[in-house]
């Protein structure tokens, strides 16, 4: 689960079940960097945790990454395209198969506290049970069994370097590492094949929706399982089809900077639900199953988009919606239409940059096309702030400060109301941009942000 699905999700200990934090590096007055632990160190920690709680040895160690969404916010449940990339920060699990239906899981605690332990039986797992972080573990086994796979129990020990509360999908990483481990140990399918990984992602989505009872559109699970190194993942949320989009940033002197506002989620859990409900209502009024169909109706032109919005105004008014509600539905729909166009634009720019045949607004060549992504990110943030209304002062400040410090563009990422923003920057300027963002946040009276480098990383894998 992620803030996109629940405004307080990753900030609750129950959502992640406790974790080994990323290593914060800072000097007094300097930005705090959340560095991903080396895979070997995380694997060692998981093995040690396993040995300290369960007799014997684990059968293996698996890893699943968190993600940052480059563009395409709140489009997954609307059937639109999204463009996430996997992070080097991951959740790691040492797992041993059981045949008796018993599930035993220990999850490392933050800040030196006692590890969290859960034990139960698969016969007791189902919609709404268990509650808390264990739902994201036991629920995956239940969902795989519901899909027709032969699933026994597991003993597991989990650690994580995915920052909690940052909107970077720590809970999806937990689901996906369990799914991959169980599939590997049970020989449920070809775990290196993308088609089977799509099935695993679907099981993780079902676990989150039905067992954890947290609404998810499926982007996070697809990213954790299906991303590849040095690429972003273009996911068609309606069909599940994916395209690996090259992300040639480093070779052209560019980088992605993630800025965790560390802002408390001041909105109730219903904010995500209200956005989704508005989208579903708008689609219904337009006679569509998903709001993405309104994008197709708009035809990719400004005139077409306005025609759709005018038709929505008329249909909503005729259905008895009040004036304020009508304009709310229009704003939500305008975001979905414009954000979809931005996803297509970014995919086109990155693909052209990788091919070396690019003529962009900024000039000719790969660098020009990459730099042209920046203003698209900024336009996305404006849409989320003004039309989808999911930003907050902390997010607005860090995005503005990053751009003022030389970032080529910045936008909030994830569900909003807190969490993180992502900025496209010139390589070598990360420290300067982070320092400026930190200073601006503190001057505004906001929490001190933390930072991480978003290196496009591979999806879930077996480490040992």
Residues 6 or more apart whose CB falls under 8 angstroms from that of 111 comprise 21
Residues 6 or more apart whose CB falls under 8 angstroms from that of 227 comprise 65, 67, 84, 85, 86, 233, 456, 457, 458, 459
Contact 397, 441 (CB under 8 A): yes
Contact 427, 250 (CB under 8 A): yes
Helix or strand or coil: residue 271? helix
Q: Distance (Å, rounded) from C-alpha 230 to C-alpha 250?
A: 9
What's the half-sphere exposure (Cβ side, CA atoms, 13 Å) at 327?
Answer: 4
* Helix spans in 130-269 (H): 135-146, 170-186, 194-206, 219-226
Residue 220 is among the residues annotated as catalytic for this protein: yes
Catalytic residue, candidates 6, 10, 76, 220: 220
Q: Distance (Å, rounded) from C-alpha 446 to C-alpha 432?
A: 19
Q: Distance (Å, rounded) from C-alpha 75 to C-alpha 78?
A: 5
- Strands of 99-179, DSSP E: 102-107, 116-121, 153-160
Torsion of CA 36, 37, 39, 41, to 10 degrees: -170
Report the catalytic residues.
Answer: 220
């Amino acid at each position: 689960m992620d803030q996109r699905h629940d405004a307080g999700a990753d900030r609750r200990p129950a959502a992640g079940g406790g974790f080994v934090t990323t290593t914060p590096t800072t000097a007094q007055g300097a930005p705090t960097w959340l560095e991903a632990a080396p895979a070997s160190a995380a694997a060692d920690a998981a093995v040690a945790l396993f040995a300290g709680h369960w007799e014997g040895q684990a059968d293996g160690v698996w890893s699943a990454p968190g993600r940052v969404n480059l563009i395409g916010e709140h489009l997954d449940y609307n059937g639109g395209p999204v463009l996430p990339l996997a992070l080097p920060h991951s959740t790691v699990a040492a797992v041993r198969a059981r045949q008796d239906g018993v599930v035993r899981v220990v999850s490392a605690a933050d800040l030196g506290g006692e590890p969290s332990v859960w034990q139960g039986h698969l016969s007791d797992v189902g919609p709404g049970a268990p509650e808390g972080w264990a739902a994201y573990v036991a629920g995956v086994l239940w969902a795989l069994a519901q899909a027709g796979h032969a699933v026994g129990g597991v003993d597991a020990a989990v650690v994580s370097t995915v920052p909690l509360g940052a909107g970077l999908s720590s809970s999806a990483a937990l689901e996906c590492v369990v799914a991959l481990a169980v599939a590997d140990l049970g020989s449920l399918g070809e775990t290196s094949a993308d088609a089977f990984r799509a099935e695993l992602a679907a099981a993780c989505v079902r676990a989150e929706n039905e067992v954890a009872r947290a609404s998810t559109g499926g982007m996070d699970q697809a990213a954790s399982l299906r991303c590849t190194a040095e690429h972003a993942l273009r996911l068609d949320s309606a069909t599940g089809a994916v395209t690996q989009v090259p992300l040639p940033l480093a070779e052209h002197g560019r980088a992605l900077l993630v800025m965790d506002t560390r802002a408390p989620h001041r909105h109730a859990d219903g904010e995500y639900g209200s956005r989704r409900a508005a989208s579903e209502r708008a689609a219904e009024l337009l006679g569509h199953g998903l709001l993405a169909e309104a994008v197709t109706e708009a035809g990719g032109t400004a005139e077409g988009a306005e025609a759709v919005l005018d038709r929505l105004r008329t249909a909503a008014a005729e259905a008895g919606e009040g004036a304020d509600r009508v304009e709310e539905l229009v704003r939500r729909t305008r975001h979905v239409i414009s954000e979809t166009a931005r996803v297509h634009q970014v995919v086109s720019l990155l693909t052209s940059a990788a091919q070396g045949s690019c003529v962009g607004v900024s000039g000719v060549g790969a660098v020009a096309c990459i730099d042209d992504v920046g203003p698209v990110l900024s336009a996305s943030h404006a849409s989320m702030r003004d039309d989808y209304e999911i930003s907050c002062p902390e997010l607005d400040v860090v995005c503005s400060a990053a751009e003022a410090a030389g970032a080529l563009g910045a936008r909030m990422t994830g569900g909003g109301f807190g969490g993180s923003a992502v900025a496209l920057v010139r390589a070598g300027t990360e420290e300067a941009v982070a320092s400026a963002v930190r200073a601006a946040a503190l001057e505004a009276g906001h929490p001190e942000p933390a930072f991480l480098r978003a290196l496009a990383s591979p999806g879930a894998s077996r480490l040992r």
